[in-house]
Structure 1
Amino acid sequence: MADGKQKEILLICQTAQDGRNLTFLMKLGGYGYRLAGDVMEGVNYLHNCRTNGFPLHLILTDSAAMAAGDGRELLMLQEIRRQTPLLIIDRGNDDRNALLGRLQASREGIYFCEPEEVVGTVERLLQQGYQGSGRLSAHSA
């Protein structure tokens, strides 16, 4: 965070334990965060950020939360988040291509990482700045 500004991250977590784990990691990294309990709550927060000009630098969720979202919620998420990268924690129990298919959009700006790679991947995404390239590492979709 060389620019001296705190980076803001939206966390979408279905379970309380996942929320606690991710908020702990974000606090350690010095990031600001907002916790949403499901995709719809995340969509509402994204809409509020866009409407009011609040900064948001990254959306971080896990594959279970994305799989639980219905098609309408996922489409709304995809429409609203166009300028913000989406990082999905892949726990190995979901097929990435099936999840991308549910999002009904291009893969641009959507990244995947394993649970143990969250901190490093968040840091790399925020340091490089989002250019909409959809390319980050071998782990991106």
Structure 2
Amino acid sequence: MKSIYDKTVDVLMFREGSDEDSNSRAPIITTGSIVWGVLLRATIVLIAFFFLMDSIRGNDYWWVSLFFIWAFVAFPAYRQYEKYAKRIESFAEETLCGSCKHFNKGGQSCNIYDEHVSKDYIPCEGESWEPY
């Protein structure tokens, strides 16, 4: 299991989830982790930019912060969400849980059993499966 430090480094280094994530018991990349990464990166960028502008007295260049927010916050989050959506789409097609009405795509979990689902693990073993 990864430590909190490793997870923080993954978020800050823009490491994206891979196909192996869907085989693990708990997914590494979810919509919540993407939002958390956006908030963390935005906070870091804004604080760093605030100190940079204060130190060089560059109040006329505040608009440059928009570029940094796009380059280091919004675009990586968008790219990460696209990859996550593709992975969830293929996961939903390949597993029984993907066609169940109790499957939560945002958290890759079962709403009834409140457990994460993987290709090798179905919480209800198919007994509580209900189609859309």
TM-score (norm 2): 0.28
The structure with more radius of gyration: 2
The structure in which a higher percent of residues are strand is: 1
RCO greater where, 1 or 2, for CA within 8 Å and sep 6 or more? 2
The structure in which a higher percent of residues are helix is: 2
